[in-house]
Amino acid sequence: MGPTGCGKTTFVNLACESYFVIGHGLQSCTAKIQLASLALSGHAVTVIDSPGFDDTERSQVDVLTDIATFLQQTYERQQKLAGVIYIHKITDNRLGWTAIENYRLFSEICGPDAMKNVLIVTNMWSDIAQKTRYEREQQLQNKFFKQAIDRGARMRRHDGSRESALNILCELLENHEEVLQVQDEMVDQLRPIPETQAGAELNRVLERMQQRHQAEIARMQQEMQEDLERVTRELQRLRKQLEQVEREREKLQEIVGRLKEDGGAPEGKERKQLKKEPWWKRVYHRIVD
């Protein structure tokens, strides 16, 4: 399990030599639960590939329903899991809401008692500088995954080789099979999915998403209102300037009209003075007067 694009399907294909379609970029290609098998250390092993809760094609409710229903059916058939792998990219330089919410849902599916059968696998080690990747590993151990580790979960590195993937699966085979929390809730306690701990966590996730979207909408509306007010003020300023220019033009046209009516020729000294002046200065004097 793990977020979309963390390398779940790549891990399964590598270990089982299967050919499940791998997504590239942000788009998910694992829309449904997929099973792949292999023989390992004398055991017939089935590896389950699940979609991420941040699947680009399906809702979180649909993904949780598929995973929980599958786990319910396996438990009803007396099939228990040897362990659960949670894959995390060591290249992720920050843990956003998507990663946090994915992990919280994963934790509620497993429950505290089954954490001892969980392997937290970090991958993509070759894609990051050595100093940085070890610092991030320490941060993950001491902060993000600390509670799970305190309950028995273990962190392992996956170097991208098939040998590494098989070693991780072999470690799970040593576990004592454990019932996951969501299996106990749905089968033994007969709870519907919304009443399980995972269902309750998903409801909280959706509520937080709703609040974030509402806050974003409110912010955008506020920005639009501020932009509208700014544009309105600018329009008012331009209208005033336009009205001023129109008044000046009308005044100028009136003066030109009067000049035409009286021949544009004042008498006496004023006339002689005006003759020496350019026409635009004469118009200016009329405006000022």
Could you please report the per-residue DSSP string of the chain? --STTSSHHHHHHHHHT-------TT-----S-EEEEEEETTEEEEEEE---TT-SSS-HHHHHHHHHHHHHHHHHTT--BS-EEEEEETT--S--HHHHHHHHHHHHHH-GGGGGGEEEEEE-GGGS-HHHHHHHHHHIIIIITHHHHHTT-EEEE--SSHHHHHHHHHHHHTSPPB--HHHIIIIIS---GGGSHHHHHHHHHHHHHHHHHHHHHHHHHHHHHHHHHHHHHHHHHHHHHHHHHHHHHHHHHHHHHHHHHTTT---HHHHHHHHHS-HHHHHHHHHH-
pLDDT of 164-218, one tens digit each? 999 999 999 999 899 999 999 999 999 999 999 999 999 988 888 889 889 999 9
Is pTM beyond 0.85? Reply is: no
Tens of pLDDT along the chain (289 residues) come to 998 888 899 999 999 988 886 654 444 555 689 999 999 988 999 999 998 887 777 888 999 999 999 999 999 999 989 999 999 999 887 777 788 888 999 999 999 999 999 999 999 988 888 888 888 999 999 999 999 999 999 999 999 999 999 999 999 999 989 999 999 999 999 999 999 999 999 998 888 888 988 999 999 999 999 999 999 999 999 999 989 888 888 888 888 777 777 665 455 455 555 455 565 565 556 655 5
